[in-house]
Amino acid sequence: MGLKRVVVTGFGAVTPVGNNAEEYWDNLVKGQSGAAPITLFDTTYFKTKFACEVKNFDPLNFFDKKETKKMDRNTQLGRVAAREAVEHANLTSVSIDKRRVGVIWGSGIGGLETFETEVLDFASSKGIPRFNPFFIPKMIADITPGHISIEYGFHGPNYTTVSACASSANAIIDSKMLIQLGKADVIVCGGSEAAVTASGVGGFNAMMALSTRNDDPKTASRPFDRDRDGFVLGEGAGCLILEEYEHAVKRGAAIYAELKGGGMSADAHHMTAPHPEGLGAYMVMHNCLEDAGLPLESVDHINMHGTSTPLGDVAESHAISKLFGEHACKIQINSTKSMTGHLLGAAGVIEAISAVNSIYRGIVPPTINHFHDDEKINSKLDFTFNKAVKREIKVAMSNTFGFGGHNACVLFQKI
């Protein structure tokens, strides 16, 4: 008996360009930037004073005051995205075996705001250990899937994947494998991140990883542009409902795409810099296609990692050119990070949602903020600059890479 098929039956999103999946998608297609001056803390002494924050998010619209106090913003965002996805997939109004529904979630950092607040409060208390009793449960990276499972009574596999910016893509791949092996019928999978804090921005500034284009935040995230100067930090959450194909058909679920492949690799090169020749990126895309059992020529669209960093964009572009050869120029490529910024551990899932929508709706969102070509990047590649493109997409790939050399790639097919 072969491996079971895995399909997408729902999704949800809370992002810098939309607080639900439909709004998120509409604004991606319009090419709307989510970058703006930071409101979550005082940036007076910071080199970078802007980010892609989630706007107009009030947790009290979703949770009561007592429950809200028990959750870091990271978990609040994740639970709201998961709620939308569960409702979108119609999981609450049908009879399903909750023992076979899991929750696998990705987060690169977890409750950074909570950690920062508690440590600063301790430092100001002259060493008196008066910590919030919810400090640890709010901070730990694995708590979000716990909350989601408790809310719905899902008793299946439940854990968090942590692989920096590849975290939620790894959650998708783990979910796929568990369903394929018959360990679950449905998995609520995704990721969340809320690192727009003093220590988050300050830490990335210290690494010289962030753009400092404070005079023009909306154009600061400019993947593949000659004058890019670093990524723009984002926050938010995304969720996919992955389901065994026969299970979805039996309950009459809407199916948006099939998850055909998942690839993983390591750069084995540097703690933060990508392999200069894109070796890890090349390997992860190759492994993903091999897992899917599809030829190179089948790929119509790639949502690139494309962070807007000087080294990363060149390495990934080189890897695509090398792997796909002549077909590389026929692939509709984009980087939605030009609009959302970089959501770290949540990047993989919100970009996977975009890839699924490109298949389902026949539109590829643009890579905005392109002004000048970079001579180090293959100019024949179709980066979908500045304007969305209508095109039938049968196979879409999404790349996500993380500090430490962690690479993950997922591939969806029209069904």
Burial of 92 (0-12, 13-18, 19+ CB in 10 A): exposed
d(CA 108, CA 245): 30
Which of 147, 247, 275, 305 is labelled catalytic?
A: 305
The count of other CB atoms within 10 Å of the CB of residue 263 is 23
d(CA 32, CA 363): 15
Which of 52, 165, 189, 239 is labelled catalytic?
A: 165
The count of other CB atoms within 10 Å of the CB of residue 311 is 15
> What's the longest Cα–Cα distance across the chain?
65
d(CA 194, CA 192): 7
Q: Indicate the Cα dihedral angle 274, 50, 76, 156, nearest 10°.
A: -10
Beta-carbon contacts of residue 382 (< 8 Å; ≥ 6 apart)? 329, 330, 331, 332, 333
- Assess whether 305 carries a catalytic annotation: yes
- Assess whether 409 carries a catalytic annotation: no
- Assess whether 147 carries a catalytic annotation: no
Which of 147, 247, 342, 406 is labelled catalytic?
A: 342
Which residues are catalytic, by number?
Answer: 165, 305, 342
